[in-house]
Structure 1
Amino acid sequence: MSLKQQIISGFFWTYLQQFSSQIINFSISLVLARLLLPEDFGTMGLIYIFITIGHVLIDGGLSLSLIRNLDTDDEDFSTVFYANIGVSVLVYSLVFIAAPFIADFYKLEILTNIIRVFAVTFIISAFSSVQSAFLSKNMQFKTQMMIAIPSIIASGIVGITLAFFNFGVWSLVWASITQNGIGTLQLWFYNNWRPKRVFNKIKFLKHLHFGYKLIITGIFDAVFVNIYPIFIGKTFSIKQVGFYTQAEGLKQLPVSNVGGALSKVTLPLFSKIQNDSQKLKEAYDRITQLVLFVITPILIFMSVLANPLLLFLYSAKWVAAAPYLKILCFAGILPTINGYNINILNAKGKSNYILKIEILNKIFLVLMILFFYRYGIYALVWTKLLSSIFSYLLNSYYCGKELNYSLFDQIMNITPVLLLSFLSGFVVQTIYVTLNSSQIPLLLKLLIPCFIGIIFYCSLIFIFKRKLIEELKWILNTKFQHGK
């Protein structure tokens, strides 16, 4: 199979996994949102930072090092595997001890037991990270899809059953543990790789040399991705955390389906052509434009239709999340590109750039939060948009240095798609306002503006950016002709 066919095949299976996973997760979340309270989701939102940091410390960027290095062997994989197991036990012990102090910080006693139970996923994930890296390195994304779907379905059954019997927030805890556990078991069943009884200190230090910067980067990212739930929970209320996390999850649905799938494929892809800057530039340019072509209008349409969308999907008790969703959708557009910038730098081995980018991004975000939070919770959330713009400019600048692709040229290449999407969003908003006073069902008030908006957007793209449609058709044709 040629490299192009590998790319398309990898994207197809990864996208199918992402799409199927998100649809199933989304369906599960619809049921759980009606069975549980915003406070239940808010409670889980408070602990995600500690769980995420734990997973970062366990993996330590070592799996990424395995994927990007061209000369890895069984000794490399075994060494990283045993390192992950050892660190997972240590991290779990530390979190177990820290749990009461975290609960005291939020004045929420139940957090102690929730954190101690949920943190079991550290040890479970330590058994799966190298297996997953092995599949990703060999671009076996079809196998990963076959593993992901049953895990999500099983976790959904557990979560919904427990929620139905009034287990509250524990429904979400045990659902996550179930997904991790079943996913790990399947990885060992489908993948033939097994660790050897060897730990090579030199190889460990080699991967750690690349990975330690990613550990620091990952911790920074974990803290600041979750800084809003932490700040909202401490300064405002747990209920507001629930509204925020639910809006964030809904916004992530299209972002994960398209941007997340491609991001997973692009690291091994970029690594294969890491020594050819021209090919890297062409691949990066194609991918970013295609992703924005698909994601931007979806996010803008979701933003302008936030109120009726939440009312239709989650019921009236979640409509208060609409202001968050409006802001987060706009803030979610540019970060879809940042993942590809980081993958370019990872493929080039520029983890020092990644660390520098993360530090500068987080300094900017902290300054924005400290300045704006005094003006209320919505002003606080608007800082996410400001930081996403700053982050895009910074990421694109450093990525452009490696590709000889100026920041100005990158901005000019994505501007037409952004403008056409915003214009289409204005049309959707106008139609919805017109229909809102009528007596037609709520579903039609959503579908009619979206349908007209899609027709309008596709017409503009066909007139001004026809190459994007041709590119998308080429990808689909290539997949169905050669990629299966």
Structure 2
Amino acid sequence: MSLGAKVRSGARLSLLNTVVIRIGNFAAGVVLARTLLGPREWGLYATGMVALGVLLSANEMGVSLAIVRWDRDVREFAPTVMTLSVLSSSILYAALYAAAPTTARLLGSPDATGMLRVLCVSVVIDGLACVPNQIIAREFRQGARMVLDLLNFLVTTGTTLALAYSGAGAMSFAWGALVGNLCALAGCAVVVPGALRPGWSTAEAKALVTFGLPLAGASLLVLAMLNVDSVVTGALLGPIALGFYQLAFNVSSWPVRSISEAARRISFAGFSRVAGSPAALADAFGRGLGLLMAAAVPPCVLLATLAAPALDTIYGPRWAAAAGVLRFLALLGLLRIAYELAYDCLAAAGRRSSLIGVQGVWLIALVPVLLYGAHLRGIAGVGAGHVLVAALVAGPAFLWGLRREGIGPAVVARACLRPFIGGLVMAALSIAVYRWTGETRWGMFVAGAVALAGYLPIVLPMRRLLRAETPAEPELTIQQPAMAGDGER
């Protein structure tokens, strides 16, 4: 099977998987937000997720990406990857366990200490699962990925709902995530037999750490950039404000998780296979960005223009305070989708120093802007500051990094032109129709339908990108390593 065929097949399965899981998560979140858990509980959970996200960004020091990137037999170095990953994640969890009370207090939620200690056990589980997960990504086995994600979702959601209804409050999130991750780890052992075997080679370990640490540093900066807003909100405005902000951020992330996450499961592997050809890499990035933007613009624009009625309809009136910040975070979500694809492209091309530079500049500019925004306008100011820095600082920085890899601004402009024009049309139609209908609930649905009808004719010519084939030289085709006891690919 050609690289393009593998990428397209993996993309379809990945998109289906992501959409199904996100719809399920969305439904469970609506039930909890409307019936049992209020802004304070969501704020405590957000505190835990901030800490977990930081740990996950560095738990295996970036060494697992070598399984996808290195054009070698995985059996040679996977056991060393496993050992390094488990050691580093265990050390990180031990440090977090000791620092949990201080961490929770600094994040403005001292009651979250117990949640931090339970939820962050997941970092050790993730360290154990990194090798089979990356083998699945390397081989584009998105069918297996879908089964594992569905297992995780069903167990996590069932446990969380059961505990929430029994009165466990915010801790229901932590225990649900822990049980779900344990079941997914057991599934990994079945799907990729032999992948959980530890081992050690000093030479391999040195090479892996040299390869992975810059990527782990860049990932840590990404997580810091995406979570510093929660830190600022919790520390300055308190857990209730953080709960409103977290709900709005979660809603704004629907397109990111449904579209970008599906793409990222194959983008790094796909870019890695054409990284040796600048023309092929530029072509693959341009087509990928165009398709992602075409798919992401409609939900992001509708969330931005119809934030208040959407939150009232889905979550109920007690979450109305989140509407102001959602308008900004929806636009941030659109930028995040583009930037995550650029991140994967630069990582696959070996531009680790560029990634660290881009993320470092972004974070340095972001912190003071968020502090000022929180002081001036509360959570809405935090969201506005995020969008401002992402557009004016991160955007040019990513363009600079891509240009160094032969992907000029013209490639980006061509990919985004039709979605951008269509987005402007959508925004104008959505606002006008919603006001014309008297800003009613049914008017929200009419506005969304009219806006989408105006958007589709503009982007439909981009369908040709789905049929294009990525040029790949013979030496860049995917290697199929045979794992001990592994079955049909």
Give the TM-score normalised by the residue count of structure 2. 0.91
- SS of the residue corresponding to residue 72 of structure 2 reads coil
Look up the SS of the partner of 2:59 in the other structure: helix
Deviation digits for residues 258-289 of structure 1 (CA, Å, limit 9, x no counterpart) = 12211221111111111111111111111111
Question: How many Å separate the matches in 1 of 2:260 and 2:105?
Answer: 38
Give secondary structure in 2 for the equivalent of 1:61.
Answer: coil
Q: How does 1:390-469 map to 2 (within 5 A)?
A: 390-403=393-406, 405-407=407-409, 410-411=412-413, 413-436=415-438, 442=441, 444-462=442-460, 466=461, 468-469=462-463
User: Shift in Å at residue 62 of structure 1?
Assistant: 0.8
Q: Which moved more, 1:256-265 or 1:284-293?
A: 256-265
Cα-to-partner distance string for 1:444-471 (whole Å, 9 max, x where unaligned)? 3232111111111113335xxx2x0333
- CA 1:233–1:71 in structure 2 vs 1: closer, same or farther (change >3 Å)? same
What pairs with 1:83-482 in structure 2 (closer than 5 Å)?
Answer: 83-106=84-107, 108-196=109-197, 198-377=199-378, 378-389=380-391, 390-403=393-406, 405-407=407-409, 410-411=412-413, 413-436=415-438, 442=441, 444-462=442-460, 466=461, 468-472=462-466
Mapped pair 1:6 → 2:32? no
Letter of the 1:424 counterpart: M
* Distance apart, 1:207 and its partner CA: 1.3
8 Å CA contact 2:304–2:328 kept in 1: the answer is yes
Q: 1:250–1:196: structure 2 CA closer, same or farther, 3 Å change rule? A: closer
Task: Check conservation: 1:335, 1:392, Cα contact below 8 A.
Answer: no
Query: Which residue of structure 2 aligns with residue 479 of structure 1?
Result: none
Question: Taking structure 1 as the reference length, what is the TM-score of the superposition?
Answer: 0.92
Q: Distance in 1 between matches of 2:335 and 2:196?
A: 40
The yes-or-no answer on 1:23 pairing with 2:17 is no
**Counterpart for residue 484 of structure 2:** none
Matched letter for residue 155 of structure 2 = A
In 1, are the aligned partners of 2:39 and 2:244 still within 8 Å (CA)? yes
Alignment partners' CA distance in 2, 1:218 and 1:40 = 28
Contact 2:86–2:124 (CA under 8 A) maintained in structure 1: yes
Flag structure 1 segments of 5+ consecutive residues without an equivalent.
476-483
In structure 2, relative to structure 1, the CA distance for the partners of 1:237 and 1:197 (3 Å cut) is: closer
AA at the equivalent of 2:7: I
* Shift in Å, 1:413: 4.3
Mapped to 1, the partners of 2:225 and 2:343 lie a distance apart of 17
Kept in 2, the 8 Å contact 1:85–1:123? The answer is yes
Distance 1:28 1:430 in 2: 33
Shift of 1:17: 1.2
Letter in 1 for 2:429: V
| 1:178/1:71 CA distance change after superposition, 3 Å | same
| Equivalent pair of 1:75/1:198 in contact (CA under 8 Å) | no
Give the 3 Å change call, closer, same or farther, for CA 412–206 of structure 1 in structure 2. same
Hey, what's the Cα distance between the residues in 1 that align with 2:331 and 2:38?
26
Provide closer, same or farther for how the CA distance between residues 356 and 108 of structure 1 changes in structure 2, counting only shifts above 3 A: closer
Superposition RMSD in Å? 1.9
Bigger Cα displacement from structure 2, 69-78 vs 278-287? 69-78
Letter in 2 for 1:10: G
Shift of 1:430: 0.9
**8 Å CA contact retained: 2:225, 2:359:** no
- Contact 2:248/2:325, CA 8 A, preserved across alignment: yes
Please tell me whether residue 46 in structure 1 is matched to residue 47 in structure 2.
yes
Give, in angstroms, the shift of residue 351 of structure 1: 1.0
Quote how far apart the aligned CAs of 1:255 are: 1.8
Q: 1:51 to 1:418 in 2, by over 3 A?
A: same
Classify the secondary structure of the residue corresponding to 1:333. Answer: helix
Contact kept in structure 2, 1:15 and 1:257, CA below 8 Å? yes
The residue type paired with residue 399 of structure 2 is S
Q: Decide whether the 8 Å contact of 2:109 with 2:239 is kept in 1.
A: no
Question: What letter corresponds to residue 39 of structure 1 in structure 2?
Answer: R
Amino acid of the structure 2 residue aligned with 1:401: R
The 3-state SS of whatever aligns with 2:405 is: helix
User: Secondary structure at the residue paired with 1:87?
Assistant: helix
Aligned pair count reads 467
